[in-house]
A = this chain, B = another copy of it.
């Protein structure tokens, strides 16, 4: 139950992030819907395709489609008001990447994969919806540029998950703690402006 509420909030936050990018690009209603959809469900779709889960999750569970449809409608109608929700949306988004990471991890574990591959799948689940969004909008994916720690917190959440598993921590806790790690680290990173170190010598640190 709690799981479903988090999943729902994450889907809503991801969809809205897609809608906002699509409206900046002045796409038409169909384009806005597709970008919202792809942002919310694209990461999980890539994960399912890589794993060979068939058909992909959202084709079987209609709830996702309805949530995306409702959210797109809401976001388009209240687009002028969305800025007042910025903080809530950021929080939902952060909770969302935490949850999506762990869902991806567990699908990898269920398929009997090596921990590194599970962490890769968790990161793909959480981050590649945004990558698809940016490709469809003809931008270099924002998570590949040096704005903010994003994928790194997913990897950190994944490492936490396997440390807990190694010590045979009970599965509910091993599920919850990594999500909390993702959320806390990302909130701290944004608050204190933490970024990955630059690999470019001529780059000043506040760029």
Contacts and interface: CB of A to CB of B under 8 A. Distances in A.
A29 B196 contact: yes
A152 interface: yes
B113 A60 contact: yes
A140 B137 contact: yes
A114 interface: yes
Nearest to A120: B65
B144 A140 contact: no
A205 interface: no
A201 B193 CA distance: 36
Interface string A25-37: 1111111101100
Given A50-B45, A116-B62, A29 B197 contact: yes
A35 to B, nearest CB: 7
A140 B25 contact: yes
A151 interface: yes
B136 A140 contact: yes
B199 A76 contact: yes
B141 A55 contact: no
Interface in A56-97: 56, 58-60, 62, 65, 76, 79
Contacts of A56: 50, 52
A135 B135 contact: yes
A32 B143 CA distance: 11
A63 to B, nearest CB: 11
Contacts of A22: 144
Nearest to A132: B135
